[in-house]
Amino acid sequence: MKKTLIKLIAIPFFILGLTGCSMIDKLNEKHRVEELATKTNIDIRIKETNKDYKKNTEKLLNQIESLYSSNPWLLNNVKRIVICEDVLKETGTSGDYRIKNGTYAGMADIKTNTIYISARDYSEDVVIHESAHMFDASFGDELLSQNKDFYKMINENYSSIDTIFDYPDRAKHNINEFFVNLVIDYTEKQDRKVLKQNFPDIYGYIDGFAKKAMANCKSNT
């Protein structure tokens, strides 16, 4: 009888313990988001509530923090980042970063300066990818990727660039995605060196606007 009573009493405490851990996790996440939002001056919202994706949510927050630490100028034009479960469901559109299973890891809404990223369809470079799309739209009405001079440079060097960097298919047939991949290479030390040595005109084009973004970033701190 005593053993049964002990078991009955222990069960509620076990459940309470699990609930307590969940509440602590939520509080820790909320605190992390608030700190990161203050640090980056970006409105960061988590709409994903499925516990199965919490680790991915944490990884995405790490991506944001890492990008801000290494290349904060790429976040100049980002006002809001929404971490959700399904980009298509959240935005009503398919997004611009399609991954292998046919789902979308992220989408950059340049009209509202908002990045949507999926915790379910996680990609390790989605934050820098979508931020590069925002950078593309940071200088006036015309996208940097749509500039006639840039387009000409890409046409003249397409085969060589493709041979050296071997971009994914989505970039090979879309000038916006091609630009984004070049920007990402610009942020990486070794790839940046290769870009500068082999395609100085393209490097100079990106570098010129990147330096403007960097100057603007410093002026806002």
Do residues 170 and 214 share a domain?
A: yes
Q: How far apart are CA 74 and CA 174, in angstroms?
A: 21
Do residues 146 and 107 share a domain?
A: no
Sign of CA dihedral 218, 70, 162, 107: negative
The last residue of one of the domains, among 124, 154, 182, is 124
Residue 5: the pLDDT is 47
Check if the beta carbon of residue 119 is closer than 8 Å to that of residue 83: yes
Do residues 186 and 85 share a domain?
A: no
Q: In tens digits, what is the pLDDT along the chain, a chain of 221 residues?
A: 445 444 545 555 545 454 554 655 666 778 899 999 999 999 999 986 778 898 999 999 999 999 999 999 999 999 999 999 988 888 887 666 666 566 788 999 999 999 999 999 999 999 999 999 999 999 988 999 999 999 999 999 999 998 999 888 778 889 999 999 999 999 999 999 999 999 999 999 999 999 999 998 755 65
Beta strands in the chain (DSSP E): 43-46, 80-84, 97-98, 104-109, 114-118
Residue 89: the pLDDT is 85
Do residues 169 and 220 share a domain?
A: yes
Q: How far apart are CA 101 and CA 112, in angstroms?
A: 28
**Tokens standing for 72?**
């904060």
Residue 6: the pLDDT is 45
Do residues 42 and 108 share a domain?
A: yes
Q: How far apart are CA 72 and CA 131, in angstroms?
A: 10
Do residues 10 and 69 share a domain?
A: yes
Three-state DSSP at 192 gives helix
**Tokens standing for 85?**
């479960």
Q: How far apart are CA 220 and CA 47, in angstroms?
A: 29
Check if the beta carbon of residue 35 is closer than 8 Å to that of residue 71: no
The last residue of one of the domains, among 100, 124, 148, is 124
Q: How many beta carbons lie within 10 A of that of residue 102, not counting itself?
A: 7
Q: How far apart are CA 118 and CA 101, in angstroms?
A: 13
Do residues 148 and 106 share a domain?
A: no
The last residue of one of the domains, among 98, 124, 150, is 124
Do residues 173 and 203 share a domain?
A: yes
Q: How many domains does the chain have?
A: 2
Domain that holds residue 89: 1-124
Residue 94 counted as domain residue: yes
Residue 189 counted as domain residue: yes
How many Å is the maximal CA-CA distance in the chain?
Answer: 85
